[in-house]
Amino acid sequence: MSEHNFPAAIAIDGPAASGKTTVGKMLADRLGYLFLDTGSMYRAATFAALQRGVDIDNELAIVALAEQIDIEITNADEQTDGYYYLVYVDGEDVTQAIRTQVVDRHVSQVSAYAGVRQQMVKLQRQYGERGRVVMVGRDIGTVVLPQAPLKLYIIASAEERARRRWLERQAKGDSTPYETILADVIRRDKIDSGREHSPLRPAEDAVIIDSSGRDPDLVLEEILRLSCFTMP
Ligand code: CDP
């Protein structure tokens, strides 16, 4: 497929646990593109703040921390313990630690700070400049890569998204109840969509894909049927 003139950058956005990471990773693998899940960067900054005891309400301190830490993401060739990639903060492997309920609780507050976003967007654009990239997040089509030739916005009902996240967590031995996860998904969506800087919303030219009731394989098929993949 890589001989084709496919879109050089693909932006995928959508609310929490909408399946964008799974489908984005599958699409990147299919095309031989780099995959970048930008949520993991906001999660890494949040985890670092919690670990180092930096007050989440202290915007200046959080921004200073985000500027100071070194976040590294390495694409794992195979799924490692169910993770598609490994995340390091200042050399420490935080891949599992950033996917916990405590990080879920604070990440939307940290990512609402303009200074944090500025720092992360700078790093994300560096990845974007290399081309042949699938980038996943909340503001990729609107802010990070507004020139991306293909923008997707993946949605699903809150209940279904919470159920998927619950199953994911169960498989990893995390027994957080479904109700807690549902409440968190709804709360995060509200903060992410309502914030002043780079709120979650589809770009005007984004293709909306509803993943409700459909396996990632089927969602991927729908994406690959788009004209940019089928027309020579
Ligand atoms: O995997 P899930 O959909 O639960 O979340 P995520 O993609 O890992 O993102 C975690 C949080 O980071 C989101 O709830 C947003 O608050 C923030 N985020 C953001 O603000 N901008 C992005 N481009 C990506 C994530």
Cα-Cα-Cα-Cα dihedral sign, residues 97, 98, 100, 101: positive
**Gap between the Cα atoms of 139 and 203, Å rounded:** 8
Query: Has residue 144 got a pLDDT over 90?
Result: yes
State the distance from the centre of ligand 1 to the C-alpha of 200, rounded, in angstroms: 9
Q: What is the mean pLDDT of residues 122-144?
A: 94
Please give the residue range of the domain that contains residue 125.
3-213
* Number of folded domains that form the chain: 1
49: CB partners within 8 A, 6+ apart: 56, 62, 65, 106, 110
CATH of the domain at 82: 3.40.50.300
pTM: 0.94
State the distance from the centre of ligand 1 to the C-alpha of 4, rounded, in angstroms: 31
The pLDDT assigned to 75 comes to 75
Q: What is the mean pLDDT of residues 213-217?
A: 93
What is the per-residue pLDDT across 102-127, written as a single tens digit (0 to 9) for each?
999 999 999 999 999 999 999 999 98
Of all protein residues, the one whose alpha carbon is nearest to atom 9 of ligand 1 is: 39
Residue 32 counted as domain residue: yes
Q: What is the mean pLDDT of residues 68-93?
A: 83
